[in-house]
Amino acid sequence: MKKTARRDYSTLRSSAWFSGDDRWGVGHRAWLRAEGFSERVFQQKPVIGICNSWSELNNCNAHLRQVAEAVKRGVWAAGGFPLEFPTISLGEMLMKPTTMLYRNLMAMDVEECITSYPLDGVVLLAGCDKTTPAQLMGAASADIPAIMVTGGPMLRGMWRGQELGSGTDVRRLWEEVRAGRLSEEAWCEVESCVSRSAGHCTVMGTASTMACVAEALGMMLPGSADIPASDSRRLMIAEKSGARIVEMVYEDLRPSRIMTRQALENAIRVDMAIGGSTNAIVHLVAIAGRLGLDLPLGKFDELSRSTPVVANVRPSGRYLMEDFSYAGGIAALMKEILPLLHSKAVTVTGKSVAENLAQAATFNREVIKGLDEPLRPEGGTVILAGNLAPNGAVIKQSAISPHFAKHKGRAVVFENNFDLIKRIDDDKLDVDESSILVLKGAGPKGAPGMPEWGHLPIPRKLLKAGVRDVVRLSDARISGTSYGTMVVHIAPESAVGGPLAIVKDGDWIELDVPGRRLELKISQAETKKRLKAWKPAEPHYVRGYGRLFLDHILQADEGCDFDFLKAANGPERVAPPVKFKNPGI
Ligand code: FES
């Protein structure tokens, strides 16, 4: 990396607020001294914001106040002045209808807080699924030096001697309850045994995936994404990140210098190698959009074809995040696939990916495989195209039933989620194990917010007959903890008149994962006739944030960001040292 001259304090943003003895300099310092700070903190110290998505409504991030205290230690020790601030927090389990409805709102909150306050650098504290991409998107747009610390995964669930992974195993056991094979008592025990500590979900779901992706993007200190939340090394890494951001400010090492096209490709490679969540695709496209970089879905498929899955972690593999961490974690995995990565890409350390990984090693070959003996020969996620998904669709091939990789079946259509809930367990539902379940109205505008409804439940009558997977299609997303044969992110979505909107019961649909195809087997004339007769539903919102969302949300293949937040030519809202005198006090 080309060294840049160490910046002088007078060039930092915060000096525009805190230097000088005029009314404004005194005013800014005096008001902040209401918090009990002495004059020493204003002596040419870079101001470091700690952007905290802590919330008791978001259990995955509920320990981040403690993490923030460790960050502050590091900032003080390195000669900075830390100031913690909150943003909205998106708790995956409690927030309805879906956190994805609010990812962009959080990203805006993060960007606006960073740019409007006297901050020279920022430490981003994230954890639960959407909090990580929202902070990366906001930081990319604000473009002042930034480093991320995620909260880490929970300890593995333990129940009657079985290890339980969040989401993945709860779904599996719920199907046993519905099939009448697991008692209510046992089900109650599961509730108290699955979440044993602070932290995010324990499998390679979206939170773990996005933490690994953030590290692969170069935005976290190496080896930090996978450390369990309750491990003391999590606080050590937070302290080190606090110290490092002070140096990054003097080096002017901004997100736009780290999250380059090469870094995005590294992140895609890592996502494929860990068998990561399908959600990472939407988030990476959105992050790229904030940086003015085009990231077509074709790039994901191209890199997927040449990136094997090497992480043996649920839902694509056998182990849990805790095991992954003890086996060497994300640093070891990146070292295993280093020949596939842009090894010279710059990271928050100021060093390259290859330099960061010099000491990394794999300690358990069962959990982290090598390129010569991977878990699967191709990446976890692939992109489908065809007349049913003209702008693409996504399937996690590492989690499907192998016999469905090539499959032709008749559609059983649900017009929306309410229709699905009403009829899915009806014994009269005309469905068998070769049917293809189709859910409409679950995309960015249709649901709205593109919830994780793509994991359609298996009809009870099939469950009772022992069926554990059927092919499912939708314009929704799925949780990163999901497993089974589910095509999601179909674009354009049904609510805007995509071909999914015209599928009818009994239509033949053909899925060909190796051939990357998804086809509705009706004639062109019939397609035209049905499209002509199609009418959009009434919008879900007429006012407020919901209205803003519906007016500006982009489709899944474009990252589901708001159209006005994309940058045309690199970050447009670079926050330079602000030279102003605020007349507002
Ligand atoms: Fe927050 Fe799974 S619910 S990471």
**Per-residue pLDDT of the chain in tens (585 residues, 90 and over written 9):** 555 678 888 899 999 999 989 999 999 999 999 999 999 999 899 999 999 999 999 999 999 999 999 999 999 999 999 999 999 999 999 999 999 999 999 999 999 999 999 999 999 999 999 999 999 999 999 999 999 999 999 999 999 999 998 888 888 899 899 888 999 999 999 999 999 999 999 999 999 999 999 999 999 999 999 999 999 999 999 999 999 999 999 999 999 999 999 999 999 999 999 999 999 999 999 999 999 999 999 999 999 999 999 999 998 899 999 999 999 999 999 999 999 999 999 999 999 999 999 999 999 999 999 999 999 999 989 999 999 999 999 999 988 999 999 999 999 999 999 999 999 999 999 999 999 999 999 999 999 999 999 999 999 999 999 999 999 999 999 988 888 999 999 999 999 999 999 999 999 999 999 999 999 999 999 999 999 999 999 999 999 999 999 999 999 999 999 999 998 655 554 444 444 444 443
Q: How many angstroms does the Cα of residue 37 sit away from the middle of ligand 1? A: 36
pLDDT at residue 583, as a whole number: 43
Could you tell me which of 168, 74, 180, 87 has the C-alpha nearest to residue 135? Answer: 87
User: Which residue spans within 160-268 are E strands per DSSP?
Assistant: 162-164
Q: How many angstroms does the Cα of residue 568 sit away from the middle of ligand 1? A: 33
For residue 499, count other CB atoms closer than 10 A to its CB: 21
CA distances from 325 to 233, 415, 545 (A): 11, 42, 39
Q: Which two tokens stand for residue 53?
A: 């998505």
Q: Which of 60, 89, 106, 482 to mutate to test the pocket of ligand 1 (most atoms within 8 A of CB)?
A: 60
Q: Give ranges for CATH 3.40.50.2300 in the chain.
A: 45-155+197-356
Q: How many angstroms does the Cα of residue 434 sit away from the middle of ligand 1? A: 32
Q: Which of 200, 314, 477, 478 to mutate to test the pocket of ligand 1 (most atoms within 8 A of CB)?
A: 200
Q: Which two tokens stand for residue 71?
A: 């960050």
Which residue's CA is minimally distant from atom 1 of ligand 1?
128
Q: Which two tokens stand for residue 317?
A: 């593999």
Q: How many angstroms does the Cα of residue 208 sit away from the middle of ligand 1? A: 9
Pairing status of strand 146-150 against strand 121-126: parallel
- Per DSSP, the three-state class of 395 is strand
Ligand 1 atom closest to the Cα of residue 93 is 3
User: Which residue spans within 440-572 are E strands per DSSP?
Assistant: 471-474, 486-488, 508-512, 517-520
Domain 385-533 indexed as CATH 3.50.30.80: yes
Q: Which of 201, 209, 279, 314 to mutate to test the pocket of ligand 1 (most atoms within 8 A of CB)?
A: 201
Q: Give ranges for CATH 3.50.30.80 in the chain.
A: 385-533
pLDDT at residue 6, as a whole number: 83
Task: For tokens 């960015």, name the residue.
Answer: 444
Q: How many angstroms does the Cα of residue 108 sit away from the middle of ligand 1? A: 21
What is the rounded CA–CA span in Å between residue 308 and residue 376?
6
Q: Which two tokens stand for residue 469?
A: 């997977």
CA angle 432, 434, 440 (to 5 degrees): 85
For residue 496, count other CB atoms closer than 10 A to its CB: 15
Q: How many angstroms does the Cα of residue 259 sit away from the middle of ligand 1? A: 25
For residue 256, count other CB atoms closer than 10 A to its CB: 18
CA-based end-to-end distance of the chain: 43
pLDDT at residue 578, as a whole number: 46
With residues binned 3-state (H G I as helix, E B as strand, rest as coil), the percentages for the chain, rounded to 5, are 40, 15, 45
Ligand 1 atom closest to the Cα of residue 129 is 4
What is the rounded CA–CA span in Å between residue 57 and residue 55?
5
Q: How many angstroms does the Cα of residue 25 sit away from the middle of ligand 1? A: 43
Residue 158: phi and psi, rounded to 5, are: -135, 125
CA distances from 54 to 22, 264, 280 (A): 37, 27, 22
Ligand 1 atom closest to the Cα of residue 60 is 1
Query: DSSP assignment, residue 338?
Result: G
Name the pTM for this structure.
Answer: 0.95
Ligand 1 atom closest to the Cα of residue 200 is 4
Which residue's CA is minimally distant from atom 3 of ligand 1?
92
Tell me which residues have their CB closer than 6 angstroms to ligand 1: 60, 92-93, 128-129, 166, 200-201, 205, 207
What is the rounded CA–CA span in Å between residue 570 and residue 219?
17
Q: How many angstroms does the Cα of residue 157 sit away from the middle of ligand 1? A: 14
Contact status, residue 450 vs residue 475, Cβ threshold 8 Å: yes
Ligand 1 atom closest to the Cα of residue 208 is 4
Considering the domain 45-155+197-356, what is its CATH architecture? Answer: 3-Layer(aba) Sandwich (3.40)
- Per DSSP, the three-state class of 496 is helix
Q: How many angstroms does the Cα of residue 94 sit away from the middle of ligand 1? A: 10
For residue 152, count other CB atoms closer than 10 A to its CB: 31
Ligand 1 atom closest to the Cα of residue 92 is 3
Which residue's CA is minimally distant from atom 2 of ligand 1?
201
The region that residue 538 occupies, defined by phi over 0 for left and psi between -120 and 50 for alpha, beta otherwise, is beta
What is the rounded CA–CA span in Å between residue 107 and residue 138?
4
Q: How many angstroms does the Cα of residue 203 sit away from the middle of ligand 1? A: 10
Q: How many angstroms does the Cα of residue 207 sit away from the middle of ligand 1? A: 6
What is the rounded CA–CA span in Å between residue 159 and residue 130?
28
Q: How many angstroms does the Cα of residue 201 sit away from the middle of ligand 1? A: 5
Q: How many angstroms does the Cα of residue 320 sit away from the middle of ligand 1? A: 14
Ligand 1 atom closest to the Cα of residue 481 is 2
Ligand 1 atom closest to the Cα of residue 91 is 1
Ligand 1 atom closest to the Cα of residue 58 is 1
pLDDT at residue 20, as a whole number: 87
Contact status, residue 492 vs residue 480, Cβ threshold 8 Å: no
Ligand 1 atom closest to the Cα of residue 166 is 2
Ligand 1 atom closest to the Cα of residue 61 is 1
> 438-466 burial by CB neighbour count: b if 16+ within 10 A, else e?
bbbbbbbbbbbbbbbbbbbbbbbbbbeee
Q: How many angstroms does the Cα of residue 424 sit away from the middle of ligand 1? A: 26
Q: How many angstroms does the Cα of residue 93 sit away from the middle of ligand 1? A: 7
Chain centroid to Cα 240, Å, comes to 24
What is the rounded CA–CA span in Å between residue 157 and residue 221?
27
